[in-house]
Amino acid sequence: MCISMSQAYDETPSVEQLLKEIKELREREDYYKNIIESANKGIWVINNDFKTVYINYRMAEMLGTTIDEAMGAAVLKFLDDENWYIFMEMLSRCWEGGKEQFDIKFRRTD
């Protein structure tokens, strides 16, 4: 199937349509962000270097820290030797495709 340039041009969204879509995406982002930030469960996202890239208020509270102090901090900072080993073992299983749940104890900063 061939599409002429005029057909492709006609299907290009207008600036108004794009702005409307951006506004809707931002509203959805704010909606979900509010849900996550007000959750009674701790939510902690780390990157491949084990650094914190997101932590909600509840998780920071459980760790005895603030969101600002936790951002960029290594998850390993909150583990003792025994739990570090368990964490690394479970993480390696996840990298291999495992989907199991596990409990681990974290150290509070205080």
User: 8 pLDDT band (50/70/90 cuts)?
Assistant: low
pTM: 0.65
Model pLDDT for residues 21-59, shown as the tens digit of each residue: 888 888 888 888 877 777 788 899 999 899 999 999 999
Structural tokens at position 58: 């509840």
Candidates 66, 54, 61, 68; CA nearest to 40 is 61
Q: Could you tell me the residue ranges of all domains in the chain?
A: 14-95
Question: What pLDDT shows up at residue 28?
Answer: 86
Question: What pLDDT shows up at residue 66?
Answer: 94
Span 92-105, mean pLDDT? Answer: 83
- Measured between alpha carbons, how far is 32 from 21 in angstroms, rounded to an integer? 17
Q: Which is higher by pLDDT, 68 or 34?
A: 68
Distance set, CA 45 to CA 20, 34, 73, 86 (Å): 30, 16, 11, 18
What is the CATH code of the structural domain delimited by 14-95?
A: 3.30.450.20
Span 80-108, mean pLDDT? Answer: 86
